Copies of this chain bind each other. A is one copy, B any other.
Amino acid sequence: MTLTDVRTEDRYRTRTPEPTGLIERVEPTVWPGADGPLDAATLAGHEARGYSQYAGLLSPNEVSAYRDELARLAADEKVKADERTIVEKESAEVRSIFEVHRISELIAELVADPRVLDRARQILGSEVYVHQSRVNYMPGFKGKGFYWHSDFETWHAEDGMPLPRAVSMSIALTDNYPFNGGLMVMPGSQRTFVPCVGETPADHYKASLKEQEIGVPSREHIAELAQTYGIDQFTGPAGSALLFDSNIMHGSGNNITPFPRSNIFVVFNSVENSLVEPYAAPSPRPDFVASRTFTPLSR
């Protein structure tokens, strides 16, 4: 390694051979530069906690239409065979469909809807593009959760996203209770980057989209963050939306209740933060997981 090695200049070094300490984030969570529908209090809350919630973002009729669309997609044999569709190991049921805004016209419309797009632009203070989109299906009785992680850690390491200037919108199509595997976040944790130990293997995404094993924070770090920030849950009726920072520590428990969960998930990245070479992986992940088309999204 030489002094000019890119990794020595990378503030957010991760996937290191040995454990390293927590790293303070320097960039803001809410970026100045773009107007939008959010008021000052909402923006201040988002800056502090790293997330904001919007009850009734979709109307009941829209929820119903999108649920039908998800059912249609999950039953479509062509979609099921598509490499962008993730199928549960044991049950052969569809768990996620990636790049879904290029598969479904209805979802493409939603991604460009001002209620969605203008919020993302305002938070990121610039034009934005879709880094990733997907729909998630978590069945009742046996829904598996996701262990704690920061999305930005993965996007930086494996996709080459330079800075945490991306925001995700999760739109619930089913009611989120505290007990059916909804998202847990550590409010404020987006201010801390948690580096992970371990080298990224080639084609890691094929396994990691089902169950993450590399890029997992240590228990010590998770305990420290939970102690500092606590845990909030995203609950609310179908149609509610959550905007959350790319670096917020989040996870979800399993779901033994009969109440399934499904949602639409869109990641917006600032056009001023477009991807470079991965910071800690042999090659970038495929486009349907991490888009390399950086054209600003417009209505």
Contact = CB atoms under 8 A, between A and B. Distances in A.
Interface string A213-250: 00000010011001100010100000000000000000
Contacts of A178: 178-179, 233
A226 B145 CA distance: 21
A95 to B, nearest CB: 18
A148 interface: yes
A184 interface: yes
Counting chain A residues whose Cβ lies within 8 A of the other chain, the interface size class is 20 to 34
Given A231-B257, A253-B254, A257-B231, A222 B147 contact: no
Nearest to A177: B231
Nearest to A253: B253
Interface string A14-58: 000000000000000000000000000000000000000000000
B222 A258 contact: yes
A278 interface: no
A259 interface: yes
B148 A219 contact: no
A246 to B, nearest CB: 20
Nearest to A223: B258
Contacts of A187: none
Given A226-B258, A253-B256, A257-B226, A233 B179 contact: yes
B254 A145 contact: yes
Given A177-B231, A179-B233, A233-B179, A257 B184 contact: yes
Interface in A145-192: 145, 147-148, 177-179, 181, 184
Given A141-B219, A141-B222, A219-B141, A256 B148 contact: yes
Contacts of A145: 254, 256
Interface string A242-285: 00000000011111111100000000000000000000000000
Contacts of A227: 258
A58 to B, nearest CB: 24
A176 B11 CA distance: 38
Contacts of A233: 178-179
17 contacts: A140-B223, A141-B219, A141-B222, A145-B256, A147-B256, A148-B256, A178-B179, A179-B233, A184-B256, A219-B258, A223-B258, A226-B257, A226-B259, A253-B253, A253-B254, A253-B255, A254-B254
Interface of A: 140-141, 145, 147-148, 177-179, 181, 184, 219, 222-223, 226-227, 231, 233, 251-259
Closest 10 CB pairs of A and B: A178-B178, A223-B258, A226-B258, A254-B254, A253-B253, A253-B254, A251-B256, A179-B184, A141-B219, A222-B258
